[in-house]
Amino acid sequence: MKHPGLIGFAIAVAAAGLSAAPPEAIWPSFRGPGATGLGTGEPPTKWDVASGDKVLWKTPIPGLSVSSPIVWGDRIYLTTAVGEAPDQKLRTGAYGDVEPAKDVSKHSWRLVSLDRVTGKVVWDREATAGIPKNKRHPKSSQANATPATDGRYVVAYFGAQGLFVYDVAGKLVWKKDLGNISAGWFYDPDYEWGIGSSPLIYKDLVILQCDVQRESFIAAFRLKDGQEVWRTSREEIPGWATPTVIEVGGKSELVTNATKFVRGYDPLTGKELWRIPGGSEIAVPTPFQAHGLAFVFAGYGPGRPMYAIKPGGSGDIAPPEGKTDSAFVAWSNPRGAPYLPTPMVVGNELYVVQNSGVLAAYDAKTGERRYQERLKGSTFTASPVSAGGRIYFANEDGELLVVKAGPTFEVLATNPIGEPILATPAIADGVLYVRGQQHLFAVGEKK
């Protein structure tokens, strides 16, 4: 089944003269085109890693990383950070500790390209090496940001270690030191947790949202040579949300999620267009577009707002006090947003899963709740993805739960892979690419 958003993306890519790839084989950045989480084809409902049933390949990935795989044509790209400490690992589960991981060994930050059909490593490049400039959260890594590609260039972002752009053959094109990109507990800068916002490619720009302890900003760099095109200061505390460009009526808006304001910008100039005040103390979920609306969520507290925003606004577009809508907010809810996983829209339903596994489905156009149920699993960090009328939810216990898309709740299968999952999977051409703590798995029907 071909997804129209992906087809439109491929047409735009061809019009821009970029490297051609069939729309079925494009998942170019975090959560795929437009961060929607919608893939193509029909991945399996059930599979078995132990027997190899419907597991096309399983490739070990060294190091520690919670970044997601991306796909362009016959290649997969992903990042990792390989530390010298022998006990390098993630601490999974539900806990409220703010103390960073005590892992200050020498690291090698790497960008890896794999063959999409066989899973074999095509090339492996070391971007930089040394002692990490910032500590990481125990449920984090030194390579959190998902790479991005347009079929010509591949962007790898490692926070304070730098921004690196390669061509698809693995040749370094340029690199940039962005300074002390330190994100962590807003009450105490000594508690460093590492960055989480991933790079976004828009036209000939790579855009980075850097909400950090001091001097937060959002900036665009020319993709071919790294020249800074624009930079806009942000009065924000640390956040981990990836920005998204939405397209409506031939116009583009760069939408960002953060603690103090949700904002819309002109992606070509960095000029702020509109804002909505008041979020949660930690903003993680990524904005995305569906039904002509931009959906934005932040669910740490004290507020947990959900917004369905109409493009084209100017200035403060927040609903008046006591209201849940306005001229440019189709609906909102002061509670219900998730802390870590980005929600998604499939058909007419909006699906929101909490870290605890509580899943709620809403009418995407009105915000009316359809159901609320609990999924199996201790903790959910990865964001859901969908294709073929099914939604895939990965828990930290190393299981993928398959839920039928629609207004009623139905779990179709539970599939263990044998290792913790914190990275969001990718879907391309009916194949589900799942990053566990040690391996990258390709799950699909053999062709």
Supply the pLDDT for residue 19.
Answer: 55
Half-sphere exposure of 244 (CA within 13 A, CB side): 29
Domain count, the chain: 1
Supply the pLDDT for residue 20.
Answer: 61
Residue type, 392: Y
Tens-digit pLDDT profile for residues 403-430: 999 999 999 999 999 999 999 999 999 9
- Helix, strand or coil for residue 100? coil
The model carries a pTM of: 0.94
Please say if the pLDDT value at position 179 is more than 80. Answer: yes
Mean of pLDDT over the chain: 93
The CATH number linked to 220 is 2.130.10.10
Residue 252 CB neighbour total at 10 angstroms: 16
Residue pair 16/185 in contact (Cβ under 8 Å)? The answer is no
139 φ/ψ angles, rounded to the nearest 5 degrees? -100, 35
* Residue 244 lies in domain: 4-443
The pLDDT of 200-213, averaged and rounded, is: 97
For the chain, how big is the Rg over CA atoms in Å?
Answer: 20
Tens-digit pLDDT profile for residues 1-25: 344 445 444 434 443 344 567 777 9
- At residue 189 the predicted structure's pLDDT band, cuts being 50, 70 and 90, is confident
Tens-digit pLDDT profile for residues 43-84: 999 999 999 999 999 999 999 999 999 999 999 999 999 999
Q: What percent of the chain has pLDDT over 90?
A: 85
Supply the pLDDT for residue 7.
Answer: 44
Please say if the pLDDT value at position 402 is more than 60. Answer: yes
Please report, for residues 27, 87, 89, 193, the alpha-carbon distance to residue 102 in angstroms, rounded to integers and kept in the order given. Answer: 34, 11, 11, 11
Tens-digit pLDDT profile for residues 223-267: 999 999 999 999 999 999 999 999 888 899 999 999 999 999 999
Supply the pLDDT for residue 279.
Answer: 84
The pLDDT of 104-122, averaged and rounded, is: 97
Residue type, 52: G
Residue 26 CB neighbour total at 10 angstroms: 26
Strand partners, 311: none
Q: What percent of the chain has pLDDT over 70?
A: 96
Please say if the pLDDT value at position 205 is more than 50. Answer: yes
